[in-house]
Amino acid sequence: MYREISKGNLPAGLDFFWPLFYGETNTLFEHLPSNVTWVLDKGFRDSVDRQWASIIDRHKLACLVPERLPLPPEQLYASPTEIIQRVDTETRAFLDTKSHEQSEGVKPGIFWVEPRSNEPYSAVIQHLQHTPCRTLLAFESQGRQDIINEVLGSRDMYPTKVDAWTEFADEDGPQLATIICRLERGAVFRALGLEVLTETQIFGERITHKPRRAARSRDPESIIQSLAELKIDDPVVHEDHGVGRYRGLKVMRILEHESELMVIDYQGGDKLYVPILNLHLVSRYLGGDSETAPLHKLGSEQWAKAK
């Protein structure tokens, strides 16, 4: 190793000798604030022991090559004893997937929108009207938050926008609130009279598609996951054809099969029919107000230049 470095080379495995280049080395513990809370898996001690056993095994194998004897594991890694002693002095929270006697056993509900219904948000609205709990609605983007606020406002339900859980959970917190926070699943705390609903409980799981080619990055808010988000005449952007106006859904018979298509109007009265399976090619227009959104012409180079 020394000979290779003397020649100006960076030999493989040099990172396993980095303690030799410093007078003193630190662990993660030295880089964290004193008031940190450690969130640990219930079986973290077993995990530490297994990892250390793996390190010892690799060290024994490396010692079989006398020309490149490795450093002792204690110089490269914190030992299990050191880790456990340090963690035991910190504030800790343990995660456990097992059920507990004190668990309420209440599973979060599903209140998906129904795009083809005259009342697409009826499920979540009815739930909010009848739940005994104060409810926090968590969304990944402001776009989704604004949509729900508008829908609920039309039913004389006006959520309070909060920036933190404590604002909602406080005894004087709002009955109904929304927050921008990425959560995969909701929760019901009956004993506290609190409930959390997430975006996936209303709009379903996020759908991702592999790009057909290298594409420009798109704002997460512009990805349409549900037709219920769109209103007739809303400006939309097709990845290949530009900005048009959403005209709703239409069922057409194609090759002896009925297919549901999204209809988009373009300049000059041209229409584009987009299969629902290609919905990922369409996004909401976020370039300004709906009234000032452009209207492109199909088949022209206008959109290609705008991109």
Residues 6 or more apart from 213 whose CB is under 8 A from it? none
Cα torsion 18, 24, 29, 35: sign: negative
What's this model's pTM, rounded to 2 decimal places?
0.48
Q: Is the pLDDT at 234 greater than 50, yes or no? A: yes
Overall number of domains in the chain? 3
Q: What is the largest CA-CA distance in the chain?
A: 80
* One domain, residues 88 and 31: yes
Domain-located, residue 47: yes
Domain-located, residue 179: yes
**Structure confidence by residue, pLDDT tens digits, 124-162:** 999 999 999 999 999 988 888 888 888 899 999 999 999
- When the pLDDT of each residue in the chain is averaged and rounded to a whole number, the result is 82
* One domain, residues 126 and 90: no
pLDDT of residue 300: 81
Percent of the chain having pLDDT more than 90? 30
CATH number of domain containing 157: 3.40.50.11140
pLDDT-based confidence at residue 230 (cuts at 50, 70, 90): confident
CA 254, distance to chain mean position in Å, is 37
Distance CA(140)–CA(197), nearest Å, equals 12
* One domain, residues 258 and 198: no
Domain-located, residue 112: no
Cβ atoms within 10 A of the Cβ of 273, count? Answer: 13
Task: Locate all alpha helices (DSSP H) within 13-66, ordered by sequence.
Answer: 44-62
**Structure confidence by residue, pLDDT tens digits, 182-213:** 888 899 988 889 999 998 899 876 544 444 44
Residue 275 β-bridge partners = 261
Domain-located, residue 18: no
CATH number of domain containing 236: 2.40.10.170
Residues 6 or more apart from 77 whose CB is under 8 A from it? 52, 55
Domain assignment of residue 180, given as a range: 122-203
pLDDT of residue 175: 96
Distance CA(273)–CA(271), nearest Å, equals 7
Q: Is the pLDDT at 105 greater than 70, yes or no? A: no
* One domain, residues 195 and 242: no
Residue whose entry in the numeric block shows the structure tokens 């373009």: 266
Domain-located, residue 220: no
Domain-located, residue 165: yes
